[in-house]
Amino acid sequence: MFNKKTGLFAIIFLLGFASFGAMNAFFSYTNTTEFCTSCHSMKINLAEYQETVHYKNAAGVRAECADCHVPKEFFPKLKAKIIAAKDVYHEFIGDFAVSDEIKNDPELYLAHYNKHRWDMANAVWDKMRASDSRECKTCHSFSAMDFEEQGKSAARKHPRAMEDGKTCIDCHKGIAHHEPDDPSL
């Protein structure tokens, strides 16, 4: 009744189930804002985020880091986690592109950060544009907007953006972090 094949299948099934559970627990833990901002390199982003409507607002609804930066679907999420792992690794071993002198001097660190900020922001914006602002749309959608309740500018621009096939990030850069200056200007 209970042969080697059945036993092997049961072991593989249990290992797969346990691995899937462990991976989900890992994803949940690494999706917390506390985890995201525990790295030294995220302190500037955290301070900016805490000044925005995504952090504090009249409705009391908070968008956490993962809500904007981590896809909800499994395979895009897995890809994002793999890409982010290299950043965590370099932060962990202490060679995240800055010397201790820069890392420990807030003014030097901010200058170093701002030197790379335009490229970092554009990489995120390109990713968001390529996904049609997928993460934004887990909370926001044109079809759910009451244009009459919006301010004059938004009520005029949102229908036009919808008709023109624009996506959130085309107009809403700098919504959760300061928008960097274009170095070419």
39-95: pLDDT as tens digits = 777 888 899 999 999 999 888 999 999 999 999 999 999 999 998 888 888 777 766
The encoded tokens of residue 36 equal: 């995201």
- Say if residue 177 carries a ligand binding annotation: yes
- Say if residue 145 carries a ligand binding annotation: no
Tokens 């968001």 correspond to what residue?
A: 128
pLDDT of residue 103 exceeding 80: no
Distance of CA 40 to the CA centre of its chain: 17
Q: How far is CA 44 from CA 50, 57, 90, 113, 118, in A?
A: 10, 20, 18, 9, 14
Sign of the C-alpha dihedral computed for residues 143, 145, 147 and 153 taken in this order: negative
At 73 the pLDDT is 92
SS3 readout for 29-84: HHCCHHHHCCCHHHHHHHHHHCCCCCCCCCCCCCCCHHHHHCCCCHHHHHHHHHHH
pLDDT band at 150 (very low <50, low <70, confident <90, very high): very high
Domain positions in the chain are 31-171
- Say if residue 158 carries a ligand binding annotation: no
- The greatest distance separating any two alpha carbons of the chain, rounded to the nearest whole angstrom, comes to 76
- Say if residue 119 carries a ligand binding annotation: no
- Say if residue 54 carries a ligand binding annotation: no
At 68 the pLDDT is 92
- Say if residue 171 carries a ligand binding annotation: yes
Q: How far is CA 155 from CA 42, 54, 57, 151, 161, in A?
A: 34, 20, 20, 6, 10
Tell me what the mean pLDDT of segment 85-112 comes to.
76
**Model pTM?**
0.77
Tell me how far apart the alpha carbons of residues 66 and 74 are, in angstroms, rounded to a whole number.
13
% of the chain with per-residue pLDDT over 90: 58
- Say if residue 68 carries a ligand binding annotation: yes
- Say if residue 65 carries a ligand binding annotation: yes
- Say if residue 40 carries a ligand binding annotation: no
- Say if residue 139 carries a ligand binding annotation: yes
Sign of the C-alpha dihedral computed for residues 125, 130, 133 and 138 taken in this order: negative
Output the average pLDDT for the chain.
89
- Say if residue 162 carries a ligand binding annotation: no
At 96 the pLDDT is 59
pLDDT of residue 122 exceeding 80: yes
- Say if residue 146 carries a ligand binding annotation: no
At 39 the pLDDT is 79
At 149 the pLDDT is 92
